[in-house]
Amino acid sequence: MIGPQDRAAWTGKTIDFHADGLHTLSAAEVEEIDAALSCLREQGELDFPAITPETFPLPTLGAFLRGLRDELRFGRGFVLLRGIPRERYSTDDMARIYFGLGCHIGAPLPQSWQGELLGHVIDVSDIEPGARGYHTGGAQRFHTDSCDVVSLMCLQSARSGGASRICSSIAVHRRLERERPDLLQALYDGFIFRRREVDAEHGSGVLVRRISVFARTGEEISVFLSGDYPNRAVAAGDVVMTPIQREALDAVQRIAASPDTYLDMRIGEGDIQFLNNRLLLHGRTGYEDHREMARRRHLLRLWLRLPGWPAQPEGQAMHTGEDHPLWLRQRTPFMEVPSRYLAEITARQAELAQ
């Protein structure tokens, strides 16, 4: 008998994402995207919150995208869209297309205290002190974000490397259940997490939370994992991590990082990846980048809340619905437009070089 999350319990050695998670857009679907972009332009210069299924209409493709909600929740947990001709569109129009496609799946959420609805995943650590993980280069360990679905669109590839590395948390859970149930229990019991002070200050004010790495709601298992937040709590003196807690966190990373467990997925320019953030862990491989800002590896990111999905289990998100409206007060119109963003950070890079 097939269990409710058996399809999500894949491993890298048992799955081929080209067969199980790739949708290549047809010529007719690309034409529909073109028509939606034209429709959007006819309505004037609309800011991202005004891009909706009504202002970016997709009569046929929209139904397919809405159907992905069930595949992401009950299936493999990931989808890669391929076939948007990157060379046809400006960087800003790529962002509009991406946001337009995403809003047919779910509602975009702000991603930090600054209120941005569209994140820029690019290495700006040379000009941004204390840059967050998505603003730094190199490899990233496995983690999750605070949303139902996390998505990436590639605008500019790295010189080499930088593959998306994903892993089924259900596969990790089942292996721990077989081999180390004591560590699995520690992951259910939870940890003290401390988020960045600026996120708390501009949000709900809650800085420290108890978070369960694994939680069970009925027959559904969900995951929330961060390497940074529990370590921040220890460094701040909020808690002393026990040896079994440390071993449990290390075991999740060790199992997920096994070559027979993870799946590497190349996201080419114009590709869009959607991941069920409650089921899958994600990270990336190391990469070689360009020094020129305009040529650096650059992806756009959406955090989506999906209609019809149950609320995230209590204690499985560091940022919550309390934060979102407060963070949005910091947002400024058109702040996420790629050409504006790149111009600003390029100017900052030039200032620092003087």
Could you report the per-residue pLDDT of 79-107, keeping only the tens digit for each? 999 999 999 999 999 999 999 999 999 99
Report which DSSP code applies to 31.
H
Parts of the chain with a pLDDT under 50? 1
Report how far residue 232's alpha carbon sits from residue 228's, in angstroms, rounded to the nearest whole number.
6
Q: How many domains does the chain have?
A: 1
Task: Establish if 217 belongs to a structural domain.
Answer: no
Q: Is residue 187 part of a domain?
A: no
Query: Is 225 part of any domain?
Result: no
* 203 found inside a domain: no
Tell me whether residue 269 is exposed, middle or buried, using C-beta atoms within 10 angstroms of its C-beta: 0 to 12, 13 to 18, 19 or more. Answer: middle
Spatial neighbors of 12 by CB under 8 A, at least 6 apart, are 167, 259, 260, 261, 262, 263, 264
Does residue 57 belong to any structural domain of this protein? yes
What does the pLDDT read at residue 1?
44
Q: What is the CATH number of the domain that holds 270?
A: 3.60.130.10
Determine how many CB atoms are found less than 10 A away from the CB of residue 5. Answer: 21
Q: What is residue 2's predicted lDDT score, i.e. its pLDDT?
A: 56
pLDDT score at 87 = 95
Minimal CA–CA distance to 277: which of 324, 321, 309, 322?
Answer: 309
pLDDT single digits (tens) 152-168: 999 999 999 999 999 99
The pLDDT, as a whole number, for residue 133 is: 85
153 in a domain, yes or no?
Answer: yes
Give a yes or no: residue 175 inside a domain: no
Q: With respect to residue 43, please indicate whether it lies within any of the assigned structural domains.
A: yes
pLDDT at 4: 73
* Domain span including residue 44: 6-164+263-353
